[in-house]
Structure 1
Amino acid sequence: MRKILLSILGILLIVISIFAARQIINNKKRPKSRVERSVKTVFVDTVQNKTVPIVIESNGNLLAKRRVELYSEVQGVLKSSYKLFKTGQRFKRGQSLLRIDDSEYYSSVKAQKSNFYNLLASTIPDLNLDFPEIAPKWQDYLNQVSVDKALPSLPEMASDKENYFINGRGIISNYHTIKNLENRLSKYNIRAPFDGILTQALVNEGTLVRNGQKLGEFIDPSIYELEVAISKTYGYLLKEGGQVTLSNLEGTQKWTGDVVRINGRVNPETQTVSAFIEVKSEDLKEGMYLNASLMAKEESEAIEIPRKLMLDNNEVFVVKDSLLAVQKVNPVYFSEKKVVLKGLADGTVLLSEPVPGAYPGMLVRIAEIENATDSTSTETKKGSAP
């Protein structure tokens, strides 16, 4: 009996425990869950389509349009000239840039002229006998010949007989030999081909100059050219005569130039087309690095936005009923920082600043411009779930 009673009490205790546990579970109140909902503040612009000028940005180094590299075609010692042959020295057109000692060569030229004079003098008596009608003409020419001056041009031949006679005496061949010597003699004195400035001087007075040696560089500082490389994608937009805005790296100075030439060949390595911009200004110097803004064309019914707002697959974020949505657009031109696009209707609310972690359907609040101080600021609201 004792075992039976203990068994019955054990079973009753288990049943009461189960019943009590169920009562406790059923009577327990469930707390309502609280969900944090983040609403980011965004900055927007209202789309207003208009005509957008497409400006191609590029840069390059400035070079003088008229420049001469000076080389010696003769050999000799460099002599002092009217002005020192030094970098930064300015010369007028026709002024002597440098002079090479020509005393030895000049003496040989004078000797050749003297021989030519004697040849003419010995020919005059024969002309008086055989061609008395043309003898005075050659006598006048003989009187013009001087060993200290450039040889004058030969008289015109009046007939074939005169030509044969003069050629037979070797006068014409001697004349051309001397003219060739005179031409070489002029190379000892290099003159400025235009008003300009010496930008490089590689020799000094007293230096032995050799044939083919580079002496320096001479430029015209009044007109420059800027070569810029434009992607072949936009090469068709370039037109000769188009105006270009140039600026220095700091953006503190601006100049206006013109597109004067466009290369007809695409660089196979960079796939770019070279355009040459002509610009004139006293403030410019050769070698300056300039930025160029080429006005290529105008695109109607378009807008311009920062490139950072463009998504993959040519999409942008717009705001509809306080929710973000993506919309397909048609970009027509990309620059380094901007993109010109079409496909957005007037009045569309477009994000003006990127939103970190943005996704379609995201709940947002449009910032009030007058109170906005930071384009990346966010605001979080808390609420209870229904």
Structure 2
Amino acid sequence: MRKIILSAIGILLIVFSFLFAKKLIANKNKPKPVKEKVVKTVFTDTVKNTTVKIIIPANGSLVAKRRVELYAEVQGVFKPSRVLFKPGQKYRKGQTLIGMDAAEYYASVQSAKSDLYNTLSSIMPDLRLDFPDVYKKWQSYLNSFNINKSTPKLPEMTSDKENYFITGRGIVSSYYNVKNLEQRLYKYNITAPFSGILTEALVTEGSLIRSGQKLGEFIDPSVYEMEVALSKGYASLLKVGEPVTLNNLDDTETYQGRVSRVNGSIDATTQTITAYIDVENEDLKEGMYLEARVDAKEEENAFEIDRNLLLEDHEVFVVRDSILDVIPVKPVHFSDTKVVLKAIPDGTVILKKAVPGAYVGMLVRPFKGETSKTTAK
């Protein structure tokens, strides 16, 4: 009985071993599963070369184009006036900004005028006897002499004898001494050279003003200019009179300006060239920070794309029969986010948005809902 049981167990083991071996052989010959190819959907654009405007970005602060720093050339006490000398005060052209007490100096000017008048009066008898032909001329000048008005110009001397006589009596030197004193007297009143506004006031009424002291700053708020530094590569592109669009930092307001001046030299340190942009708007204030977009030139037969689509070797991805490929391009201008390219044939289908992990030979499917053409700027 025992032998029968052991024989049955042996037979069963042989059968199980045969079946297990057969299963292993079947699994070995089973074909591997084929992975399904992944086709990525991409955004594409069809190239249509047009004329692209090259726009140079720049920024800077506004400064009044006409500004005057006020300094005293004489010494005196600041006299009170109807208009307070305070920042923000507006003045018309020719209106007095600062008036200083000049009573003492005025008296010295009047004294010099009186001396000149007395000297002229003393030579009149000699002129009548020795130079009767010029007597009337000098008599007419003496009659027009008013000590309370500006000293008139001396009559023109027509002969050497007349010149020697007048000069020898010290009249010419006295005349120019009086004119010098009169010119200095005018400096006790500082008037507005143009209509504008006071932006800085460093003195107050009643204070003693000394010669050479800075008194304040006066500007014309109607025209401002912005100084911008641009790369030397744009030197040949900048032209006086070019229109410029300016925006504030919030990009909520837009102003129109123009290039008024371009510096003739390049900064040796920064290798930049300085341009000046004029802008007029009643909402602008000195010191405002603006961003400018200068229209440098127009590039013909060009196409503009995002900078991140340009590969390191100046190549871009194109789509050919649902497969990615690359073609060489020629960049002609870079901005912060865009690049202008040339040498791309019309009708070429390129990527419109970057594809992570893209490579040559990658299977792609253009997104059907997009517009294949773009409008050139």
TM-score normalized by structure 1?
0.86
Structure 1 runs of 4+ aligned residues shifted over 3 Å read 18-25, 27-31, 33-39
Which digits, 9 at most, give the CA deviation of each residue in 1:97-118, with x for residues without a partner?
A: 1111212211111111121121
Change (3 A) 1:140 1:215: same
User: Is the CA contact (8 Å cut-off) linking 1:63 and 1:226 kept in structure 2?
Assistant: yes
Name the aligned partner's letter for residue 254 of structure 2: K
Alpha-carbon separation, structure 2, partners of 1:40 and 1:97: 75
User: Is the CA contact (8 Å cut-off) linking 1:72 and 1:215 kept in structure 2?
Assistant: yes
Alpha-carbon separation, structure 2, partners of 1:181 and 1:361: 92
Q: Structure 2: any 5+ residue segments left out of the alignment?
A: 1-16, 372-377
The aligned residue for residue 318 of structure 2 is: 318
Change (3 A) 1:111 1:315: same
- Quote how far apart the aligned CAs of 1:22 are: 6.5
Alpha-carbon separation, structure 2, partners of 1:27 and 1:36: 25
Alpha-carbon separation, structure 2, partners of 1:146 and 1:44: 89
User: Is the CA contact (8 Å cut-off) linking 1:82 and 1:96 kept in structure 2?
Assistant: no
The aligned residue for residue 376 of structure 1 is: none
The aligned residue for residue 139 of structure 1 is: 139
The aligned residue for residue 101 of structure 2 is: 101
Name the aligned partner's letter for residue 27 of structure 2: K
Matched, 1:251 2:251: yes
Farther-moved stretch of structure 1 (151-160 vs 283-292): 283-292
TM-score normalized by structure 2?
0.88
The aligned residue for residue 264 of structure 2 is: 264
Alpha-carbon separation, structure 1, partners of 2:69 and 2:241: 29
- Quote how far apart the aligned CAs of 1:236 are: 0.8
Change (3 A) 1:166 1:359: same
Alpha-carbon separation, structure 2, partners of 1:82 and 1:128: 52
Alpha-carbon separation, structure 1, partners of 2:298 and 2:251: 24
User: Is the CA contact (8 Å cut-off) linking 2:43 and 2:370 kept in structure 1?
Assistant: no
- Quote how far apart the aligned CAs of 1:56 are: 1.6
Matches within 5 A, 1:76-91: 76-91=76-91
- Quote how far apart the aligned CAs of 1:168 are: 0.2
**Root-mean-square deviation (Å):** 2.4
Matched, 1:197 2:194: no
The aligned residue for residue 375 of structure 2 is: none
Name the aligned partner's letter for residue 281 of structure 2: S
Percent identical: 59
User: Is the CA contact (8 Å cut-off) linking 1:113 and 1:146 kept in structure 2?
Assistant: no
Matched, 1:26 2:20: no
Which digits, 9 at most, give the CA deviation of each residue in 1:118-160, with x for residues without a partner?
A: 1111121221222122222222222222332211111111211
Change (3 A) 1:234 1:182: same
- Quote how far apart the aligned CAs of 1:267 are: 1.1
- Quote how far apart the aligned CAs of 1:279 are: 2.2
- Quote how far apart the aligned CAs of 1:23 are: 5.7
The aligned residue for residue 175 of structure 1 is: 175
The aligned residue for residue 8 of structure 1 is: none
Aligned residues: 357
The aligned residue for residue 155 of structure 1 is: 155
Name the aligned partner's letter for residue 41 of structure 2: T
Matches within 5 A, 1:1-386: 25-29=24-28, 30=30, 32-33=32-33, 35=35, 37-369=37-369
Q: Structure 1: any 5+ residue segments left out of the alignment?
A: 1-17, 372-386
- Quote how far apart the aligned CAs of 1:322 are: 1.9
User: Is the CA contact (8 Å cut-off) linking 1:45 and 1:351 kept in structure 2?
Assistant: yes
